[in-house]
Amino acid sequence: MGRRVVQYNRLGKAIGLYDSIAAASKATGIDKNNILKNIEGYGNRYIFNSYFRWEVTNKELRKARQEDRKNRQAQKLKELEKEFHIK
């Protein structure tokens, strides 16, 4: 199972919940790459997403943010270890 996504109409009302971007694409006929671009913030540039807004569910978004934070912390730690010659 991929990232769960929610589809909203122009008024901000949730109109669909899907188990993955691929499932949303199959159910709506909207290309999965356009859904992903909309989630990432490029939505208004793509005609197929101009009537809808897509988001990963809050749980998935929190998880992605936590992983991003961990990755940034790990990278910072590696930089410090390299700078101070720590193994």
pLDDT surpasses 60 at 44 = no
Compute, in degrees rounded to 10, the torsion defined by CA atoms 26, 28, 31, 35: -110
pLDDT surpasses 60 at 33 = yes
CA distances from 87 to 22, 36, 71, 74, 76 (A): 43, 39, 19, 14, 14
pLDDT surpasses 60 at 76 = yes
3-class secondary-structure state, position 40:
helix
Instruction: Find the domain containing 30 and state its range.
Output: 5-83
Total structural domains within the chain = 1
Q: Per residue in 6-22, pLDDT tens?
A: 888 877 788 888 999 99
